[in-house]
A and B are shown apart, each in its own frame.
Chain A
């Protein structure tokens, strides 16, 4: 319990620091919101008037206070680019990206776990080499390049999948999955390298243990030993790595969603950055950093719940 309390305190502190970084970065921008609204050619007096009314002449600390107050009370302001309130906009995009994140994780684990197990069972043989080569290749191809190759193959070549766009899962679930398929696959191929390596090393550690030898001595089929006995004990570290990859994933998702014109959180962030929509930049990067931090926290806590060998304390 004491652990949980101290952990939550540190979460609050980190969120506070994240907000300062977010606010700080966007305030080094040359030009400000008033300039974005009125354009660079506008009348200096009118510009000054707008600055005054938006509170841009207040000290930075006051501006920060107003911004964070708004964020906390759910008033996130309006996007200059989309002319819409930011909070509902982000909520909708987070859901769209959620589909990609979930599909990516499923695909990455579906590739990585069998590949890692296979490598661990045939340590230092050709299977091991093959597995690490495949993983390294995935790691070395930029995901947007993989994405382009997938478009070339599945959309332009075979015509099986749509090359771009987004479909709302609540309206057409199958269509949504079809549109999210290629972006997720491109991300998953990049993600699986670390997961494969982690599965391999965790499995190798487990396969050497006494209880595995006992299970084999009992005459259990190898399949049961590997998948039923060893894997459940090796999955913890793999899941931890998967959780830690979420941060990396949220970086890559910006590139991939833009490539596939998939209008999720990554796409929204990119549009905000490209058009220097300062209020939207602040909100999107704050939300992404907060989500990354909270996912890491959740993974950490979950790991402690699942694995009794780690005590809360």
Chain B
């Protein structure tokens, strides 16, 4: 198991680092015009020396687009998950730490929100606000908040019962201090695990939103948009779907593997 685990960790880490490196570096080396430049004479070209991954229906270089798409995808995912942490962490801690009536009211609302599938919530918010880059982030961020709040609350409930919290309370520690010094650091492991898994889901959600036209908008380089555009030419040029699809699968697989490994290592509830 240990052997498999470390192989899993290495693969996950390698995949994630690769995607992160591409996301950070490719804007430095690839001029944004490369991804939007249309070459009418080179439409739907299969992979070749000039275009290693082929071109799309407008003659745009798929390699450049898929590499710049990594930035779009990761940026949205990181910001959206960050937003759900900013919103969900205080909610979860307040609920779990203070308990009682506050907890009751907050958890009722969270339960109601959890009845909405996250993707439906994100789609609705994005449609309501008007689909663009910024609103895609907001939509996914809000949609993920109930999950995060739920997990944080559970962890806070667990930590509050620990002897060291009782000891700190006996020593006269105030609520604010208690939360910052004792509760927060001890829910961090679970938060990190959840954030990693949420990143995978956020990448997926962004792709789904963009695929449906309710996320990022053309001509932005986004994997979901690329798959959407490929639909018409699927039989003619399957690589236009395979390239962004593989990029998505690699990213999500990497994040899932990493999340799994982190859970095995960090999460006190496992084993």
Contacts and interface: CB of A to CB of B under 8 A. Distances in A.
B112 A137 contact: no
Contacts of A20: 112
Interface string B194-236: 0000001000100110011110000000000001001100110
Contacts of A144: 207-208, 211, 227
Contact of A248 (B117, B127, B256): B117
B128 interface: yes
Contacts of B234: 148, 151-152, 156
A2 interface: no
Contacts of A270: 123, 212
Given A17-B108, A255-B119, A293-B115, A142 B252 contact: yes
A21 B118 contact: no
Contacts of B118: 248, 251
Contacts of B230: 148
A5 interface: no
Interface in A209-256: 247-252, 254-255
Contacts of B252: 139-142
Contacts of A140: 200, 249, 252-253, 256
Interface in A160-207: none
Interface centre among B119, B120, B127 (most CB of A within 10 A): B120
Interface in B1-16: 1, 4
A29 interface: yes
Prevailing SS type, chain B contact patch: helix
Given A25-B128, A148-B241, A250 B235 contact: no
B256 A289 contact: no
Prevailing SS type, chain A contact patch: helix
A151 B230 CA distance: 13
A99 interface: no
Interface in B72-118: 108-109, 111-118
B171 to A, nearest CB: 38
A250 B117 contact: yes
B115 A14 contact: yes
Interface stretch (A36-44, A56-64, A77-85, A273-281): A273-281
A94 interface: no
Interface in B222-265: 227, 230-231, 234-235, 238, 241, 245, 248-249, 252-253, 256-257
Given A140-B256, A142-B245, A273-B127, 11 more contacts: A18-B112, A21-B113, A142-B204, A144-B207, A145-B241, A148-B234, A247-B115, A259-B231, A273-B214, A274-B213, A274-B214
Interface of B: 1, 4, 108-109, 111-120, 123-125, 127-130, 200, 204, 207-208, 211-214, 227, 230-231, 234-235, 238, 241, 245, 248-249, 252-253, 256-257
22 contacts: A14-B111, A18-B116, A25-B124, A28-B129, A124-B1, A142-B207, A142-B211, A144-B207, A144-B227, A145-B248, A152-B235, A156-B235, A247-B114, A247-B115, A251-B118, A251-B119, A255-B119, A270-B123, A274-B212, A289-B112, A289-B115, A292-B116
- In the complex, the 3 A-B pairs of residues with the closest C-beta atoms, listed nearest first: A251-B117, A251-B119, A17-B112
